[in-house]
Amino acid sequence: MITPTATLLVNCPDRRGLVAAVSGFLYRLGANILHADQHQDNEIGLFFMRVEWSLEGVELTGDAFSEAFAREVAEPYGMQWRVEFSTRRPRMGIFVSRYDHCLLDLLHRQRSGELLCEIPVVIGNHDTCKGLAEYYGAEFHCIPVTPATKSTAEEEQAALLEQHGVDLVVLARYMQVLSPVLLGRFPGRVINVHHSFLPAFVGAKPYHAAFERGVKLIGATSHYVTEELDEGPIIEQDVVRISHRDQLQDLIQKGRDLERVVLSRAVRWHLQHRILLYGRKTVVFD
């Protein structure tokens, strides 16, 4: 049986005593700290911290913990913070177009227990992936998107996400740009995979651009989605070496392997509450 845990994520202006304040508070609760990590951005004077502890024998949880921590630690030190409890499993909604490789990878990793979440719904602007989603037990909804129907389609998508209690939205090679209205409903909770090593080769056909340019490395990038296309805070990236012998289809195939891995890492770290967003950057704790 897995012991339930809690995870605290903190960022605030850097100053003396921050680690002692957090660890001391948890010590007074009788908490056994399992993991702790911290980072300082010396350029802007910010402090970041992630602490995970066992809830075994700890009576102060939920709202009571939040109230006590805010009063005794967070407010005196000017912290932005959140606490997450493993007893609540996040719910993830997936958007997809025609390509199924990233969707299949996420569904398989969730079923195998690697991704600790529920996937109640998959939304596509084509029906290509309907059978795959339903095989893994997720509802599939096909909502076509055209310039004329975009706002109506997004209202329908948002209603489905709300109906299923979705916490995180993952764009698994979803070939549509989300509007600021939809993104505003999930701030910092929409993850995309882009099939290039950003900021190189932004846009719709990066493999074609990379092939024409004759690069020797291609990559994939997973990032949080913002209103600026392909400019969101980067979570994870990886690359593979190519050569003059590789044709365009070789680049696409090698790239798809990277896309699966890079996206699944980013999703797993988000679900494990290992990521802190600040500005255009992320801190990803080990």
Are residue 134 and residue 178 in the same domain, yes or no?
yes
Active site residue 230: yes
Name the residue among 244, 222, 223 with its Cα closest to residue 232.
Answer: 223
Q: Sorting pLDDT into bands at 50, 70 and 90, what band is 1?
A: low
What is the CATH number for 132?
3.40.50.170
Are residue 102 and residue 14 in the same domain, yes or no?
no
Are residue 76 and residue 154 in the same domain, yes or no?
no
pTM for this prediction: 0.94
Are residue 219 and residue 145 in the same domain, yes or no?
yes
- Strands of the chain (E only): list them: 5-13, 32-41, 46-54, 80-85, 91-96, 118-124, 139-142, 168-171, 190-194, 217-224, 234-241, 275-278, 281-284
Q: Count how many domains the chain has.
A: 2
Q: What is the pLDDT of residue 264?
A: 98
- Cβ atoms < 10 Å from Cβ of 78: 9
What is the CATH number for 67?
3.30.70.260
Are residue 100 and residue 69 in the same domain, yes or no?
no
- The residue from 35, 51, 85 where one domain ends is 85
Are residue 152 and residue 28 in the same domain, yes or no?
no
- The residue from 35, 67, 85 where one domain ends is 85
Within its chain, how far is the Cα of 61 from the centroid? Answer: 25
Asked whether the beta carbons of 89 and 80 are under 8 A apart, the reply is no
Position 209, amino acid: A
- The residue from 33, 62, 85 where one domain ends is 85
Are residue 102 and residue 166 in the same domain, yes or no?
yes
In whole angstroms, give the CA distance from residue 155 to residue 171.
17
Are residue 189 and residue 49 in the same domain, yes or no?
no
Are residue 19 and residue 158 in the same domain, yes or no?
no
Instruction: Note down the domain range covering 73.
Output: 5-85
Of the residues 100, 230, 246, 257, only one is catalytic, namely 230
Are residue 102 and residue 122 in the same domain, yes or no?
yes
| For range 161-167, the mean pLDDT | 97
Q: What percent of the chain has pLDDT over 70?
A: 100
In terms of DSSP bridges, do strands 118-124 and 139-142 run parallel, antiparallel, or are they unpaired?
parallel
What 38-41 contacts at long range (C-beta under 8 Å, 24+ apart), as own/partner pairs, is 39/283, 39/285, 40/14, 41/278
Q: What is the pLDDT of residue 195?
A: 87
- CA separation, residue 14 to residues 11, 46, 72, 78 (Å): 9, 5, 18, 10
The answer for 69, left when phi > 0, alpha when psi is -120 to 50, beta otherwise, is alpha
Q: Over the stretch 223-282, which tens digit does the pLDDT of each residue have? A: 999 998 888 999 999 999 999 999 999 999 999 999 999 999 999 999 999 999 998 999
Does the pLDDT of residue 81 top 70, yes or no?
yes
Are residue 145 and residue 196 in the same domain, yes or no?
yes
